Copies of this chain bind each other. A is one copy, B any other.
Amino acid sequence: MDFIKRHRVEPGKAAKLKSISTDDTGDVKNKAEAKEITADLTKEIRDLQYRMFVEQKQSLLVVLQAPDAAGKDGLIRKVLGQMNPQGCRTYPFKVPSEIERAHDFLWRIHKCTPAKGMVSIFNRSHYEDVLVVRVEDLVPKSVWSKRYNIINQFESNLAAAGTRILKFYLHISPAEQLERFKKRLDNPDKHWKLNAGDYTARDKWDAYRESYEDAIEKCNSDESPWFVIPADNKWYRDASVAGIVHQTLTDMNPQMPPVDVDLDEIRALYDREIADQQE
């Protein structure tokens, strides 16, 4: 199944989130089939990522944005975090620290972009600076409205340096979010995720949706595409993101570098040492 084609927002087009299904499951029949697809793809992603790590010519940046409880953590645990840890780093972007706030909004982001061969996974990102910052009125419109262009230039610079960028919006319905919030109440292992702001943010659902729609429309290009992932079903969320990452790495087609040593010469050295030991 062509997950890219199905979930990619066409550049230049508006992203009407209200008209995009949150529980679409494409051609995937059910949870069992999705889990099988995800397991197979995850294994292949690992192989491709290893080649990219060794090749050291390209890099991959995965940006995750979503309402609370949409499943960023689960997606990282079950799919993205299955990559080889030596070639992959996850960066959470929380409320900026004092030193981060003393710089431009991309300063802390730029430090975490992937070097050649590497994968960076952003759990939230510079997009918060046109999302929460806009909805909560943390800076004036004259400031945040200029950031779309700045983001485009920044991402364009990364792309020019060989970084492939994939931006995912995990799309859940308010009802599904409420369901998950309720489940957290009954699971002591998830209580740490609760905070008083969770519920009140729900009142601003429409304002967030509009901010997302603007960000997706204004910062969406062939070199830095947005995908809207139906995320009411965790199994489809995992399968579709795995599919998109897999298609992208396949297209990047990383190659093991050529050998720059004389294999026969080394083999002869080894054989000689072994012969010496046996004498």
Q: Are A90 and B81 in contact (CB under 8 A)?
A: no
Are A85 and B88 closer than 8 Å at their CB atoms? Answer: yes
A195 touches B273 (CB 8 A): no
Contacts A178-B270, A191-B256, A273-B178 hold; do A196 and B261 have CB atoms under 8 A apart? Answer: yes
Asked whether A192 lies within 8 Å of B270 as measured between CB atoms, the reply is: no
Contacting A257 at CB < 8 Å: which of B121, B192, B270? B192
CB distance from A16 to the nearest CB of B (A): 23
Q: Are B261 and A195 in contact (CB under 8 A)?
A: yes
Query: Is B178 a contact partner of A274 (Cβ separation < 8 A)?
Result: yes
> What are the interface flags for A237-279 relative to B under an 8 Å C-beta threshold, 1 for contact and 0 otherwise?
0000000000000000000110101010011011001100100
Stretch at the interface among A33-41, A180-188, A219-227: A180-188
Neighbouring B residues of A81 by C-beta, 8 Å: 84-86
> Is A89 in the interface zone, CB < 8 Å from B?
yes
Quick check: is A29 within 8 A (CB to CB) of the other chain? no
Interface size on A, residues (CB 8 A): 42
Q: How far is the CA of A181 from the CA of B263 in the complex (A)?
A: 11
**Is B189 touching A256 in the complex (CB atoms < 8 A)?**
yes
Q: Chain A interface (Cβ within 8 Å of chain B)?
A: 54, 73, 76-77, 80-81, 84-86, 88-90, 92, 121, 123, 175, 178, 181-182, 185, 188-189, 191-192, 194-196, 198-199, 202, 256-257, 259, 261, 263, 266-267, 269-270, 273-274, 277
B85 pairs with A277, CB closer than 8 A: no
CA separation between A188 and B51, bound complex, in Å?
12
Of all chain B residues, which has the CB nearest A80? B85
CB distance from A115 to the nearest CB of B (A): 11
Q: Which applies to chain A's interface (DSSP): helix, strand, loop or mixed?
A: helix
Q: A85-B88, A191-B256 are in contact. List 14 more A-B contacts (CB 8 A).
A: A81-B86, A85-B85, A85-B89, A85-B90, A86-B90, A89-B89, A178-B273, A182-B270, A185-B266, A185-B270, A189-B256, A191-B263, A199-B269, A202-B273
Residue of B nearest to A47 (CB): B189
Taken together as a complex, chains A and B put the C-alpha atoms of A81 and B175 apart, in Å, by 36
Kindly provide the distance from the CB of A107 to the nearest chain B CB, expressed in whole angstroms.
16
Evaluate contact between A73 and B54: CB separation under 8 angstroms: no
- A-B contacts, 24 listed (Cβ < 8 Å): A73-B86, A76-B85, A76-B86, A77-B85, A77-B86, A85-B88, A85-B89, A86-B92, A86-B123, A178-B270, A178-B273, A178-B274, A181-B270, A185-B263, A185-B270, A188-B256, A189-B256, A192-B257, A194-B259, A194-B261, A194-B266, A195-B261, A196-B261, A199-B270
